[in-house]
Structures are given as C-alpha cells and as structure tokens.
Amino acid sequence: MEHTPKTAGLGGEEPQGEWGSTKEVSVTKVDIGARSAREDSEMVAVEGPLDIVLNGELAATVFSSPTMRQEHVAGYLLDEGIITSLKEIEDLKVDGARARVRLSFDPSARVAAASVYKVITTACGLWNPEFVRLLDRVDRPSVASEYRVSLDDIAKMLGEFGRGNSAWKATGGVHSATIFEEGRAVGHGEDVGRHNAVDKAVGQAAMAGADFSRCVGISTGRQPADMVLKLARVGVPIVVSNTSVIYSGIYAAEKTGVTLIGFARGSRLNIYTRPDRIALKGGTEGPREAGRPRPRSPN
C-alpha cells in the first residue's frame, strides 16, 4: 500500500458511547476453598454494534468496543481490501453506532470481494482442503518488502506493546494490537474482538501516514488466515502474536510473503514463515530458509 497522508474528514473528535470501553459493575467474589464470598466491584469490557454505511448502503455491522470508531472504520476498509488508500475516503462521520462513509467510487464490487474472504474464514482458522482451494482461487495480496528487524528490536517492541494495554489491564477481557513503524508505535487499538483491535491500529497508523512496508504488527489472539490477511493487505511484512498461530494462518502468510511469528513471550518466539527478515544477532542477516518445510495445497 502506498504511503498516504491524513485524509480530510478523518481524525476529528467523535462520540464514544455512553460508557467508553469499560464499565464498573458489582460482583460477588467466591473463594471455593474457603467457602466464603464477598461483595466487590470491578471493571468489565463494553461492546456494542457499529453499522458501516458506504455511499448510503449498509456494508457491515460489527460488534466492537465503542472507542476509536473513525480509526476502526478506516482500518476496516483498508485491511479488508475495500479501499486501497485513505484518499478514496471523501468523508467519514460517526454518529453513535452508525458510521457514514462517502467514497470516491462505487464500492459494491470490492464489498462483494471482501465477503468471499469472510465466507472462507468464518470458521476462525478451520483447516480443510476446501479452504485451501478457495484461498488459492481468490486474489491475494503480495508483501514484497525487504524490511528486516533484529530480535532485540522485537523484544523492545513487545515491551512497549505490553505497557500500552490499559483496557486489558483494567478488565482482562480485550485484545490489543499495535503497529510499529521502524520501532516506533504509530497505531494502537484495544477491543473486545482481536480483528477489531487490528482494524483500529491500522486505521490510526494510516491516518498518521505510516509506511506499512516498514512496519511490524503485534497483536494478541491466535492467528488464523483472516488475521494474517488483514495486515498483508496493507503491506505489513512482519506479523507477531504473543499466542498461537493456526495452520491456515501459516498457509496465508506463506502465500502472501508475510513473516509470521507466534508465542512471542519473554525471551522466546517461534518464526513460522520468512525467517530471513529476522536477524538473530543484531545484524541484517536472518535465518536461512533452505530446508524448511512449507505448507502445501492438497492435490
């Protein structure tokens, strides 16, 4: 994706809903071993519907944390492949639970194409031969970036990523995603849904004019194909999760040229595809790919 400036009509103040992303509730906390109970309060995550209306037509309804909704919509349109640049957005207004977007073109064909991806990824990582055949038939992004980082770079980004997850620390019930451009955080999102968190981070980074070809995307939650494809569509070459990857995610990363990293915790991580972008000792040369097994399509 090209490096684009902030688009007119984006980035202004917007209503965040009645409660924001968290709400304090009363709770009875029980200690089973002690057979005791006490009344207390704690913060829980909030979610609600968001209608995305494109040129007067409802394109999608997503359930998400009611924050960063302009960034969410912009990121969703970008990483679902409905727009290729913020320049294609002529106006974006959020009114409560409804986002009205005016695009410079008729988006119906791209919305229909995006729905094909949704059909093949609705099982959240289900792996079967039909999934592979469908993924091989549809158009896929290709990430050609030669951007490389060291393990020390990743460790620093993971440290900053962990410190920035305020809603998760308050509730334990949200996902987080951050886009780092050459080691600097340029987009961050927290949401009850891991896909939404990525949308918000992508949208904020795009509004800041990030060059996605020189970015690392870090997020919580497992990585099936749909999560990998979101960042591949905007051109992010390195995708990192602090938890597991799904085989469909590995396959999608291999097909799109993405470096996919999972279980990035403490001093350890697993590199599943394109390890050449990761320098082990602070230099620019990553592990060689020769001899590594590759995901294969069924015959």
Active site residues: 124
Strand partners, 31: 36
3-class DSSP string for 191-206: ECCHHHHHHHHHHHHH
Strands (E) in 253-298, as ranges, are 259-265, 268-271, 278-279
- List Cβ<8 Å contacts ≥24 apart for 266-274: 267/155, 269/154, 269/240, 270/245, 272/245, 274/237
Q: What is the DSSP letter of 88?
A: G
How far apart are the C-alpha atoms of 32 and 126, rounded to whole Å? 37
Amino acid found at 119? V
